Amino acid sequence: MDHFAIKNGVMHAEDVPLPRIAEEVGTPVYVYSRATLERHARVFREALDDVPDKLIAFAVKANPNLSVLKVLQRQGYGADVVSVGEMRRALAAGMAPENIVFSGVGKTRAELIAALEAGIGQFNIESEEEGVELAEVAREMGKEARCTLRINPDVDAGTHDKISTGKADNKFGVPISEAGQIFGKLAGEQGVNLRGVAVHIGSQLADLAPLENAFTKLGELVAALRGAGHTITHVDLGGGLGVPYKQGEELPSPAEYGKMVARLTQDWGVKLIFEPGRVIAGNAGVLLTRVVRVKRGIKDPFVIVDAAMNDLARPALYGAYHDFTAVEPSGADMTANIVGPICETGDTFAMGRLCDKLVAGDLAVFRTAGAYGATMASSYNSRGFVAEVLVDGDKFAVVADRIDASSIMDAERVPEWLD
Ligand X SMILES: *Cc1c(COP(=O)(O)O)cnc(C)c1O
Is 240 annotated as belonging to a binding site? yes
CA distance readout (Å), 162 to 40, 157, 170, 201, 266:
25, 11, 10, 12, 33
276 is a site residue for ligand X (CB under 6 A) = yes
**One symbol per residue from 225 to 244: x for binding ligand X (CB under 6 A), - otherwise; what is it?**
-------------xxxx---
- The reply to whether 28 sits near ligand X by the rule CB under 6 A is no
Check residue 364 for interaction with ligand X (CB under 6 A). no
> Smallest distance, Å, CB 374 to ligand X?
14
Note if 343 is an active site residue. yes
Q: Which one of 36, 73, 103, 164 is in contact with ligand X (CB under 6 A)? A: 103
Q: Which is nearer to ligand X, 12 or 278 (CB)?
A: 278
- The nearer residue to ligand X, 59 or 95, going by C-beta atoms, is 59
Contacts of 281 (CB under 8 A, 6+ apart): 32, 37, 40, 58, 62, 63, 68, 370, 371
Q: Which of residues 40-79 bind ligand X (CB under 6 A)?
A: 59, 61-62
Among 67, 73, 203, 375, binds ligand X (CB under 6 A): 203
Query: In 3D, which of 332, 290, 326, 322 has the Cα closest to residue 307?
Result: 290
Q: Which region, judged by CB under 6 A, interacts with ligand X, from 219-227, 271-279, 290-298, 394-402?
A: 271-279
Does 80 bind ligand X (CB under 6 A)? Our answer is yes
Are the CB atoms for 126 and 174 separated by under 8 Å?
yes
Q: Is 120 in the site for ligand X (CB under 6 A)?
A: no
CA atoms within 13 A on the CB side of 91: 16
Least CB distance from residue 311 to ligand X, whole Å?
Answer: 19
Q: Which of the residues 343, 411, 414, 418 is marked catalytic?
A: 343
**Alpha carbon distance 216, 57 (integer Å):** 22
Rule CB under 6 A: choose which of 12, 45, 217, 278 binds ligand X: 278
Tell me how far, at minimum, the Cβ of 296 lies from ligand X, in Å.
39
3-state secondary structure of 203: coil
Nearest by Cα to 366 from 246, 201, 221, 263: 246
For residue 276, say whether it is annotated as part of any ligand binding site. Answer: yes
HSE-up (13 A, CA, CB side) for residue 66: 12
Euclidean distance between the first and final Cα of the chain, in Å? 57
| Minimum CB distance to ligand X, residue 150 (Å) | 8
DSSP letter at 239?
Answer: -
Choice from 17, 277, 329, 340 touching ligand X (CB under 6 A): 277
Interacting positions 136-175 with ligand X (CB under 6 A): none
Query: Is residue 244 exposed (0-12), middle (13-18) or buried (19+ Cβ within 10 Å)?
Result: middle
What is the amino acid identity at position 77? Y
Question: Which residue type, as a one-letter code, is found at position 195?
Answer: R
Toward ligand X, which CB reaches closer, 279 or 326? Answer: 279
Is residue 28 annotated as involved in ligand binding?
Answer: no
CB of 413 to ligand X, least distance (A): 35
Element spanning 118, H or E: helix 109-118
Q: Which amino acid is at 227?
A: G
Shorter beta-carbon distance to ligand X: residue 33 or 103: 103
Neighbours of 67 (CB within 10 A): 20
Q: Which stretch binds ligand X (CB under 6 A): 126-134, 208-216, 220-228, 269-277?
A: 269-277
Residue 329 among known ligand-binding residues: no
According to the annotation, is 383 in a ligand binding site? Answer: no
> Could you tell me if 44 and 280 are in contact, meaning their C-beta atoms sit under 8 angstroms apart?
yes
Q: Which residues are annotated as a binding site?
A: 240, 275-278, 314, 318, 344, 372
Q: Which residues are annotated as a binding site for substrate?
A: 278, 314, 318, 344, 372
- Positions that interact with ligand X (CB under 6 A): 59, 61-62, 80, 103, 200, 203, 238-241, 275-279
- The catalytic site residues sit at 343
